[in-house]
């Protein structure tokens, strides 16, 4: 008799989906999306930076709910949420509008489906 497959925890699936999503979106947008738009100098590696934080599972993996930012600007905006909202209003109003519009929707997060989606390379998605 075959052994039962070991159940992978939701936490492990979430961590895997996050890692893949971060790689996927950084490959798709290999530059800081605030570069040249504000007074900051870009610094550090690229980060997957959320408009509304990852705790919101409806928006966690949505393409409109993030920017790719250098680590320096990600850190600055993490500590300056008002500047973050103002920068989004000025430079990325559509993403902010969509994130705001969908933020209260309740969903069951299918991490396995996201893992499948983000395992494909962005270049092969067209
Ligand atoms: Zn930057």
- Count of alpha carbons within 13 Å of 58, Cβ hemisphere only? 11
- Count of alpha carbons within 13 Å of 94, Cβ hemisphere only? 2
Question: Please, which pLDDT band fits residue 126 given cuts at 50, 70 and 90?
Answer: very low
- Is residue 38 exposed (0-12), middle (13-18) or buried (19+ Cβ within 10 Å)? middle
Tell me how far apart the terminal alpha carbons of the chain are, to the nearest angstrom.
43
Mean pLDDT rounded to a whole number for the chain: 92
**Residue keyed to tokens 């530059």:** 31
Spacing, Cα 73 to ligand 1 middle (Å): 5
Domain boundary assignment for the chain: 29-120
pLDDT of residue 123: 58
Residue 29 CB contacts under 8 Å (≥ 6 apart), including other chains:
68
CA dist 81 and 83 (Å) reads: 5
Spacing, Cα 57 to ligand 1 middle (Å): 26
pTM comes to 0.86
Nearest residue to 93 via CA among 27, 44, 21, 37: 37
pLDDT of residue 4: 74
List residues, by chain if needed, whose CB lies under 5 Å from ion ligand 1: 32, 34-35, 42, 70, 73
pLDDT of 28-79, one tens digit each?
Answer: 999 999 999 988 899 999 999 999 999 999 999 999 999 999 999 999 999 9
Helix 81-91 vs helix 71-79: crossing angle, to nearest 10: 120
């Amino acid at each position: 008799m075959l052994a039962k497959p070991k159940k992978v925890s939701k936490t492990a699936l979430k961590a895997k989906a996050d890692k893949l999503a971060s790689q996927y979106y950084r490959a798709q947008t290999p530059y800081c999306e605030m570069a040249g738009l504000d007074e900051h100098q870009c610094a550090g590696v690229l980060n997957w930076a959320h408009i509304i934080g990852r705790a919101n599972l409806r928006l966690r993996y949505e393409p409109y709910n993030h920017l790719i930012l250098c680590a320096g600007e990600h850190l600055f905006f993490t500590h300056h949420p008002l500047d973050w909202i103002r920068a989004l209003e000025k430079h990325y109003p559509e993403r902010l509008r969509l994130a705001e519009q969908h933020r209260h929707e309740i969903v069951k997060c299918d991490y396995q489906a996201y893992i499948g989606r983000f395992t494909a390379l962005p270049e092969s998605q067209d």
